[in-house]
Amino acid sequence: MIARDANHKVRSVRLVPTDDPGYLAAMAEQALAHRHYGPKEDQSATYRVSGRVEEAARAWLAERVTLLPGRVIVADVLHRDARAYERVYLELDAVEGRDGMPARVYEVKFTSNLNAMRRGYGQLARAIRLLESRYDRVEGVVVLVSAWRGAFDTEDPGFADLSRIGAADLALAALPPRPLLEVDLGELEPHLTPEDHALLDTAREEGDANVAAREERAARSPDDGPLPVPERVPRQGATLEFGDEVGSAGEDSPFAVLMRLTRPGDGTGP
């Protein structure tokens, strides 16, 4: 089945593993195109360890559900007035399914920020829109791993439209809308190394500081005056993944193509 609307057509949607030669070549090409961003700066501990947390969460999921080996979406997209299809890629954190048929996609968020967690639903919506152009109903789950030592306030309005689920709910045939699965970092312990733990300690100190700063800003009155603005160090050295929200990638890059393809109705909410 081919997805169609007034602006684009999608064809040849499929899942491939992360070592697919076409995907690796496309990533390498895109990385070269972004060399003008300059030399890499020191990355935060949270950013450096997030990939390891994703791997640990993927291993944790694999103990409970059947994950497919392919977790990179490949799709050919034809936009209105274009003369040829353009290939785009979207790497997912995990894909559940059987016999090559995806049933659920997972987005892992190691964060201390609810806004970052909620952006995961927009990423899932883009993936689901592509997959459902070929496959039957696909669900999306955000997996939240706290990047600080405190607990999220479940009364926060940011949780209002989400459905909190537990690991046992993954056995259900269908999940409630906008499911959120919180996984304690301790549950990932068997899949983490001593080196990971050292970096995680630093990452959680960063998370604690970020949360404390947000709470201080929220508690200040207008009479207190503005807080000093710290010098902002841009995050550098990210591994580029097709489908990430990279605003400066250019109008004709695969990033921009995918964002134009999936922007309408991505379900991210306010």
268 or 105, which is more confident: 105
Average pLDDT on 113-122 reads 93
pLDDT value of residue 57: 98
Rounded CA gap, 146 and 221, in Å?
29
3 located within any domain: no
Characterize 143-156 residue by residue with b for buried, 16 or more Cβ atoms within 10 angstroms of its Cβ, and e for exposed. Answer: bbbbbbeeebeeee
Q: Note the pLDDT tens digit of each residue in 33-58.
A: 666 555 555 578 998 999 999 999 99
233 located within any domain: yes
Ramachandran angles phi, psi of 61, nearest 5°:
-65, -40
Give percent of the chain with pLDDT exceeding 70. 75
pLDDT value of residue 145: 96
User: Would you place residue 1 in the very low, low, confident or very high pLDDT band (cuts 50, 70, 90)?
Assistant: very low
15 by Cβ neighbours in 10 Å (0-12 / 13-18 / 19+) ranks as buried
98 located within any domain: yes
Ramachandran angles phi, psi of 15, nearest 5°:
-110, 135
2 located within any domain: no
242 located within any domain: yes
pLDDT value of residue 23: 96
User: Would you place residue 233 in the very low, low, confident or very high pLDDT band (cuts 50, 70, 90)?
Assistant: very low
Which distant-in-sequence residues (6+ apart) come within 8 Å of 226 by Cβ? none
User: Would you place residue 217 in the very low, low, confident or very high pLDDT band (cuts 50, 70, 90)?
Assistant: confident
Which distant-in-sequence residues (6+ apart) come within 8 Å of 261 by Cβ? 8, 10, 77, 79, 88, 126, 129, 130
270 located within any domain: no
Rounded CA gap, 147 and 208, in Å?
8
Which distant-in-sequence residues (6+ apart) come within 8 Å of 50 by Cβ? 110
Element spanning 57, H or E: helix 45-62
Max mean pLDDT among 213-217, 225-229, 243-247 falls in 213-217
Rounded CA gap, 205 and 145, in Å?
15
Mean pLDDT of the chain: 82
Domain count of the chain? 1
Q: Note the pLDDT tens digit of each residue in 171-211.
A: 999 999 999 999 999 999 999 999 999 999 999 999 999 99
Max mean pLDDT among 25-34, 85-94, 216-225 falls in 85-94
pLDDT value of residue 38: 57
pTM of the model: 0.79
70 located within any domain: yes
Average pLDDT on 213-233 reads 67
Q: Note the pLDDT tens digit of each residue in 118-148.
A: 999 999 999 999 999 999 999 999 999 999 9
267 located within any domain: no
Segments forming the whole domain that contains residue 256? 8-262
